[in-house]
């Protein structure tokens, strides 16, 4: 049984030893997941990745079934390689699909951050990952041991809903909520998970209740960065009473682009040390912002700007939760 990243071509013997000792200590358990799909959305910039976990895993002669009940909006922990450091890193990736329809199949979308310290985010965009996928290679994904010690459970980052994560509200709650999701680039991942889960449950529609309502605003630079665009258009067509999709292109757009153009949240410049924020374009999509539970995923600058805009305009949504990377 092998434990390391297979076919990655570096550091394998040390990794096997290290991973094995970690498993035995039962503190942090990792299981190899096969990189089955790699879809390049923009070369060198954005890739959609699928990792598939086995349905059981053997440790010290015992076979443990792997359970996947991951909550939509949560992230899993994997061990990719850092292109800059050459070391295995521990990194979180928000799952973009749902455990209810794709058990043990982990989809995510990863971008090159272009940060000074960028490491694993560069590696994911390399030819090395393509070679890994062609060979049926694996990446380790963290597990937990069930309380009775008989099963491995996919580790997820958030055990409860907090203002700083996007774990979906408990079943029975979200069905009665009205959401405004604001996604910046790969920040679409938690919203895809929410929507795919809600779709599987028909948005919680019953004879008595119309179910949840979700407006998703997605902001990307150019058309090729639109992720799962056709699927989202189709979802809006199929569930017009539950879902609205509003993609925004900030730098390039086709002449006949019918949705948002330019930034959805704009700076008015700085006065007395405080940046003025114009939420006009966002309010154009959701004029009754106060009737929404606002959810946001993106970088810190965008989150701060959005919060400042809400504060300056005196807009008080029903709730505000965000996750920043």
Ligand X SMILES: Cc1cc2nc3c(=O)[nH]c(=O)nc-3n(C[C@H](O)[C@H](O)[C@H](O)COP(=O)(O)OP(=O)(O)OC[C@H]3O[C@@H](n4cnc5c(N)ncnc54)[C@H](O)[C@@H]3O)c2cc1C
> Which residues are near ligand X by CB under 6 A?
75, 82, 85, 89, 91-94, 108-111, 113, 115, 117-121, 157, 186, 189, 325
Q: How far is the CB of 158 from ligand X (least distance, A)?
A: 8
Structure tokens at 113: 């951050």
The answer to whether residues 292 and 318 touch, using CB atoms and an 8 Å cutoff, is yes
Closest distance of CB 276 from ligand X, Å: 30
CA distances from 130 to 29, 48, 49, 123, 213 (A): 26, 12, 11, 10, 38
* Phi, then psi, of 68 in degrees rounded to 5: -130, 105
For residue 296, CA distances in Å to 37, 114, 123, 216, 300 come to 27, 21, 26, 10, 11
Nearest approach in angstroms of CB 279 to ligand X is 25
Secondary structure letter of residue 81 according to DSSP: B
By Cβ distance, which residue is nearest to ligand X?
121
| Minimum CB distance to ligand X, residue 117 (Å) | 4
184 vs 214 by CB, closer to ligand X:
184
Nearer to ligand X, 186 or 219 (CB): 186
What are the structure tokens assigned to 170, written together?
A: 């408990």
Q: Which is nearer to ligand X, 67 or 79 (CB)?
A: 79
Beta carbon nearer to ligand X, 35 or 75? 75
Residue where the block lists tokens 């991942």: 189
Toward ligand X, which CB reaches closer, 32 or 298?
298
Measure the CA–CA gap between 230 and 30, rounded to whole angstroms.
Answer: 35
Query: Which is closer to ligand X, CB of 85 or CB of 101?
Result: 85
Tokens standing for residue 211: 């179910």
In the complex, minimum distance from the CB of residue 11 to ligand X, in angstroms, rounded to a whole number: 16
Name the CA radius of gyration of the chain, rounded: 21
For residue 325, the minimal CB distance to ligand X (Å) is 4
């Amino acid at each position: 049984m092998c434990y390391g990243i297979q076919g990655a071509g570096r550091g394998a013997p040390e990794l096997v030893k290290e991973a094995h000792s970690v498993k035995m200590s039962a503190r942090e358990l990792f299981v190899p997941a096969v990189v089955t799909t790699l879809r390049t959305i923009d070369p060198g910039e954005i890739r959609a990745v699928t990792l598939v976990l086995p349905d059981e895993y053997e440790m010290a002669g015992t076979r443990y079934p792997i359970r996947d009940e991951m909550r939509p909006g949560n992230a899993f922990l994997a061990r990719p390689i850092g292109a800059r450091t050459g070391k295995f890193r521990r990194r979180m990736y928000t799952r973009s699909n749902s455990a209810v329809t794709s058990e043990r199949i982990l989809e995510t979308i990863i971008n090159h951050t272009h940060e000074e310290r960028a490491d694993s985010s560069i590696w994911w965009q390399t030819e090395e990952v393509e070679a890994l996928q062609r060979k049926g290679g694996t990446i380790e994904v963290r597990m937990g041991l069930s309380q009775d010690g008989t099963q491995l459970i996919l580790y997820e980052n958030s055990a409860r809903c907090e203002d700083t994560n996007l774990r979906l509200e408990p079943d029975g709650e979200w069905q009665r909520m009205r959401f405004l999701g604001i996604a910046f680039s790969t920040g679409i991942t938690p919203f895809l998970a929410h929507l795919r889960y809600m779709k599987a449950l028909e948005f919680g529609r019953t004879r008595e209740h119309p179910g949840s309502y979700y407006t998703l605003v997605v902001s990307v630079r150019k058309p090729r960065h639109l992720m799962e665009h056709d699927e989202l258009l189709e979802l809006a067509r199929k569930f017009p009473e539950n879902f609205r999709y509003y993609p925004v292109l900030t730098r390039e757009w086709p002449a006949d682009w019918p949705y948002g153009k330019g930034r959805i949240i704009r700076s008015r410049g700085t006065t007395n040390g405080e940046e003025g924020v114009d939420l006009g374009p966002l309010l154009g999509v959701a004029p009754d912002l106060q009737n929404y539970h606002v959810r946001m995923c993106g970088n810190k600058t965008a989150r701060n700007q959005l919060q400042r805009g809400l504060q300056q305009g005196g807009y008080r949504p029903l709730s505000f939760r965000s996750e920043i990377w």
